[in-house]
Amino acid sequence: MANDTTYALLPHIFKKLPFDHAKDLVPVAAYVFAPMSVVVKAESKYKTLGDLLAAAKAEPGKVTYGTGGAGTTPHFVSEALGIASGAKFLHIPFKGAGEATLGMLAGTVDFQVASTPGVMSNVKGGKARILAVSGTKRLAALPDVPTFTEAGLKDFGLINFTGLWAPKGTPQPVLDRLQKEIATAMASAEMKSFAEGIASEPGYWDAATFGKDLAERTAYWGKVAANTAFERQ
pLDDT digits (tens, 9 = 90+) for 112-171: 999 998 899 999 999 999 999 998 889 888 999 999 999 999 878 788 899 999 999 999
pLDDT digits (tens, 9 = 90+) for 176-220: 999 999 999 999 999 989 888 888 888 899 999 999 999 999 999
Domains of the chain and CATH, by start = 2-33+158-226 (3.40.190.150), 37-132 (3.40.190.10)
Q: Using DSSP bridges, classify how beta strands 2-4 and 90-93 pair: parallel, antiparallel or unpaired.
A: unpaired
- Does the pLDDT of residue 230 top 80, yes or no? no
Q: CB-based contacts of 127: which residues, under 8 Å, 6+ apart?
A: 41, 42, 105
Q: What is the mean pLDDT of the chain?
A: 93
- Does the pLDDT of residue 227 top 90, yes or no? no
Q: Based on the number of CB atoms within 10 Å of its own CB, is 201 exposed (0-12), middle (13-18) or buried (19 or more)?
A: buried
- Predicted local distance difference test score (pLDDT) of residue 145: 95
Instruction: Say how far apart CA 99 and CA 96 lie, in whole Å.
Output: 6
- Predicted local distance difference test score (pLDDT) of residue 184: 95
- Predicted local distance difference test score (pLDDT) of residue 2: 81
φ and ψ at 47, to 5 degrees?
-90, -25
The fraction of the chain above a pLDDT of 90, given in percent, is 79
- Predicted local distance difference test score (pLDDT) of residue 122: 95
Q: CB-based contacts of 52: which residues, under 8 Å, 6+ apart?
A: 38, 40, 46, 63, 110, 111, 131
Give the residue-averaged pLDDT of 38-52: 97
**pLDDT tier, 64 (very low <50, low <70, confident <90, very high otherwise):** very high
